């Protein structure tokens, strides 16, 4: 049997080529941390006609339809009268809340498998470090002491996740899959396989059981300072605390007091009220605190660029973008 392969005619090729290069407009990129060249190459490979501009070289601001940014400064959006989409370059959108310069346009978060994987790796490391008594072994090494601590089965260790959103749910599932006894709490009812989920007024019941508490709450007006002295006192004495979310969600003076009293036995902190953390901050002098410089998770352009490009296509075609967030709500 001879297989007949039908090749597209030249007219089909011309139509396809024209569709691919149909101009979609201009995008302005802004970030003090991310590489604009990498983002330009990846987005141009998805959208060859995209006019990619890097702040401050914005050209004619009336051309700008899209912004891809991380923590834009006050007044950043004011020059762009034809803005149609804002994409946030990170997980937290607190820098987009309460702004007078941001018009009423769709705001999208990144749905980035790479970002999720990094966050899971950070929280898994932090939880396992406490579950396997690694801080005690680090201390023993400093004094040349052979210190045996009998390991506990993971299913007997209760880990609590505060905040069961996009990243919090992924973290909770990863810990449950590893064998930990995982509890979750959120303001709203959530359901995650393998995780006991509580919500609302059940926060006290949740905290009373948790040996290792992980903060994954977004920063909103309702969550600012939410993890305070009352939360720390509600935990079993000696509980460990991990903050991989936002610094202002936690009452830092209350955490310092709880660490000094032994109510909190140790903390792993990636985020703070002031960043970089000042050299004279008490956290630096605490042996029971591990500090990392806000790197629990970052955007991975290789996996995120496809979503950004798809949302630009959707907006250009008059459709609703994916992964919308509400800055007034905070997530």
Show which residues are catalytic.
246, 294
Closest CA to 323 of 211, 167, 183: 167
Where are the strands (E) in the chain, listed by range? 26-30, 51-54, 64-69, 85-88, 107-108, 158-162, 181-186, 196-199, 212-215, 239-243, 264-269, 289-291
| Helix 113-131, helix 166-178: angle, nearest 10 | 50
Tell me the CA distances in angstroms from 115 to 107, 125, 181, one per residue in order: 18, 16, 24
For residue 318, what are its two tokens? 């008059």
Peptide bond into 56 cis (omega under 30): yes
HSE-CB for 67 with a 13 A CA cutoff: 28
Question: Which ranges constitute the DSSP H helices of 200-300?
Answer: 203-209, 229-234, 252-261
């Amino acid at each position: 049997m001879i297989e007949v392969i039908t090749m597209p005619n030249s007219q089909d090729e011309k139509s396809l080529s024209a569709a691919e290069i149909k101009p979609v407009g201009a995008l302005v990129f802004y970030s003090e941390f991310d590489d604009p060249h990498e983002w330009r190459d990846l987005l141009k490979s998805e959208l060859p006609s995209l006019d990619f501009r890097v702040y401050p070289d914005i050209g004619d601001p009336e051309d700008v339809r899209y912004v891809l940014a991380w923590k834009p400064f006050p007044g950043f959006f004011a020059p762009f009268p034809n803005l149609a989409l804002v994409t946030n370059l990170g997980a937290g959108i607190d820098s987009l809340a309460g702004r007078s310069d941001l018009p009423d346009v769709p705001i999208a978060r990144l749905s980035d498998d790479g970002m999720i994987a990094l966050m899971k790796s950070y929280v898994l490391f932090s939880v396992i470090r406490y579950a396997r008594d690694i801080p005690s072994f680090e201390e023993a090494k400093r004094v040349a002491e052979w210190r045996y601590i009998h390991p506990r089965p993971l299913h007997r260790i209760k880990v609590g996740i505060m905040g069961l959103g996009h990243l919090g749910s992924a973290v909770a599932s990863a810990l449950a899959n590893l064998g930990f006894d995982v509890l979750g709490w959120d303001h709203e009812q959530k359901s995650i396989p393998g995780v006991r989920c509580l919500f609302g007024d059940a926060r006290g019941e949740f905290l009373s059981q948790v040996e290792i508490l992980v903060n994954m709450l977004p920063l909103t007006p309702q969550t600012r300072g939410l993890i305070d002295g009352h939360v720390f006192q509600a935990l079993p004495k000696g509980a460990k605390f991990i903050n991989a979310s936002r610094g202002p969600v936690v009452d830092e003076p209350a955490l310092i007091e709880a660490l000094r009293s032994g109510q909190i036995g140790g903390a792993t902190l990636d985020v703070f009220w002031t960043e970089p953390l000042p050299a004279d901050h008490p956290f630096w002098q605490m042996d029971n605190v591990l500090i990392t410089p806000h790197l629990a998770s970052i955007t991975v352009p290789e996996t995120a660029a496809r979503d950004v490009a798809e949302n630009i296509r959707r907006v250009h075609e008059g459709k609703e973008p994916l992964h919308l967030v509400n800055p007034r709500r905070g997530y």
